[in-house]
Amino acid sequence: MVRSGKRESYLQIFIENLREHWLNRTQIARLSVADLKKTYHGAALGWSWAVIKPVFTIFIYWFAIDIGLRSGKPINDYPYILWLMAGIIPWFFMNDALTGGTECIRRYSYLVTKMKFPVMTIPTFTNLSKLFVHICLIVAEVAVFWCAGYPPTVYMLQIPIYMLLMFLFFNAWSLFSGMVSAIGKDFSNLVRSLTVGVFWLSGIIWNIDNLTGPNSTPTKQFLYKLMMINPVTFICYGYRNAFLYNTWIWDQPKRLLYFLCWYVLLALLSLWAYRKLYKEVPDVL
């Protein structure tokens, strides 16, 4: 990639980003498959871990809350285990993207330092490998719902829309966080520490609608509004709308607007980080 001494504008970087993805689309697909193989290389069960780990995690949360704490009551007449699955399966992708995105540039530092490679495509193929796993889990989830007496509905056709929004959002995050953490590891450690908080404050294993019940207070009402602008909450509840609540994405325009505002802000931050740091990253790595 040849660059002049004059710093590029955000529009030029955005156009360059699209161009590099288009020109390297075949390479991105191959690298995503290689990244997936690399993730499970050396494990005795191989790719089976892509399913075993999420299933085990879901079982632990279900057992602890439904059996142990006896608080896993049906939510809106749906069994808690199904309600939990609908929200936690997209979280598996988001969790991997949150933490893995901060390390993607460092993980593939040899592509940055030893060869001419479009850096902006690194987050894409690493997240694409995670998306393959996510799609497999969604197929398994549809089968579980069907066996439980909830066959596929027309509302599930919007799952690819939520999937695309989730991928684009966390791809922008990965470019931003990957560039920043390539300069200093402290940012990666900070993200890992905050991820636990994001999980518990996003309504993934508990119903945030409880904050608006009969005993709701102004504080709870404020917390509810604050949580509903959380992009992670938007995605998790979007999947629940598709699997359980039979609600279209355009039926909640404010939530969609909040998410899109977050995405635009994050996309600008990712372009800023790339524009600011792309010359320094190879030297630091």
Q: How far apart are CA 138 and CA 144, in angstroms?
A: 10
Give residue 165's domain range: 28-284
Question: What is the predicted pLDDT for the residue at 223?
Answer: 84
pLDDT digits (tens, 9 = 90+) for 107-140: 888 888 776 778 888 899 999 989 998 999 999 9
| Mean pLDDT score across all residues of the chain | 84
Q: How far apart are CA 222 and CA 220, in angstroms?
A: 5
Does 12 map to a domain?
Answer: no
Number of domains in the chain: 1
pTM of the model as a whole: 0.88
Burial class (CB in 10 A: 0-12, 13-18, 19+), 156: middle
pLDDT digits (tens, 9 = 90+) for 160-205: 999 999 999 999 999 999 888 888 777 888 888 888 888 888 888 8
Does 18 map to a domain?
Answer: no
Residue among 119, 91, 268, 101 nearest 174 (CA): 101
Does 265 map to a domain?
Answer: yes
**For the chain, how long is the longest CA-to-CA vector?**
64
Does 2 map to a domain?
Answer: no
Does 23 map to a domain?
Answer: no
Residue among 146, 178, 186, 142 nearest 160 (CA): 142
Does 6 map to a domain?
Answer: no
Does 161 map to a domain?
Answer: yes
Give the bridge partners for 78, in sequence order: 75
Does 233 map to a domain?
Answer: yes
